[in-house]
Amino acid sequence: AINREWQCGTVQVDFNLPERLNANYINEKGEKQKPVLIHRAIFGSLERFLGILIEHYNGKFPFWLAPTQVTICTITEKFNPLSF
């Protein structure tokens, strides 16, 4: 790991998207109101989170996270259909 600091979680307040979606709600007085949309992401984007994991483990993922956990290699072509 290279001990880099990462910005992970984000919270964004969006006033534009509800307007574009023509989103409304009725308040307690029976009046139509425009909502405020709150976007939140605990780890930010998926790409950023994967980058954090890759750097943290220096590319050597633990068993539970490794994309390939077991590889079967054959010693003769007869068993090639069993390998992957």
Residue pair 37/22 in contact (Cβ under 8 Å)? The answer is no
Q: Which residues contact 56 (CB under 8 A, 6 or more apart)?
A: 1
Residue 5 has a pLDDT of: 81
3: left (phi over 0), alpha (psi -120 to 50) or beta: left
The answer to pTM > 0.75 is no
Quick: pLDDT tens for 1-56: 577 787 778 889 999 999 999 999 999 999 999 999 998 887 777 888 888 888 88
Residue 84 has a pLDDT of: 62
> Can you give the residue ranges of every domain in the chain?
10-82
Residue 29 tokens read as 């007085």
Residue 1 has a pLDDT of: 58
